[in-house]
């Protein structure tokens, strides 16, 4: 089950955000863009499979 980024609980375990901890030029930032794009393309497929698994996702 996937949820939108707005649901992330960034402050749950730390007082510093990810943006404060990861340097602007770190490769993870580029990787995040690529992964988000891929998951965005798969949203329809993943949502369809979630429904086929029994119940609609609440996200």
**pLDDT at site 24:** 93
Cα–chain center distance at 6: 9
Residue 50 belongs to what H/E stretch? helix 27-52
Q: Predicted confidence band at 8 (pLDDT cuts at 50, 70, 90)? A: low
Contact (CB, 8 A) for 2 and 39: yes
**Which residue, 50, 54, 34, is CA-closest to 2?**
50
Residue given tokens 């901890």 in the structure block: 21
**pLDDT at site 45:** 87
Express each pLDDT in 12-55 by its tens digit.
666 778 888 899 999 999 999 999 999 999 988 888 887 666 66
pTM of the model: 0.53
């Amino acid at each position: 089950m996937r949820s939108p980024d707005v649901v992330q609980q960034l402050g749950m375990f730390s007082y510093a955000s990810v943006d404060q901890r990861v340097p602007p030029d770190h490769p993870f930032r580029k990787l995040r863009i690529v992964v988000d794009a891929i998951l965005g393309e798969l949203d329809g497929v993943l949502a369809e499979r979630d429904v086929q698994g029994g119940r609609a996702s609440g996200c």
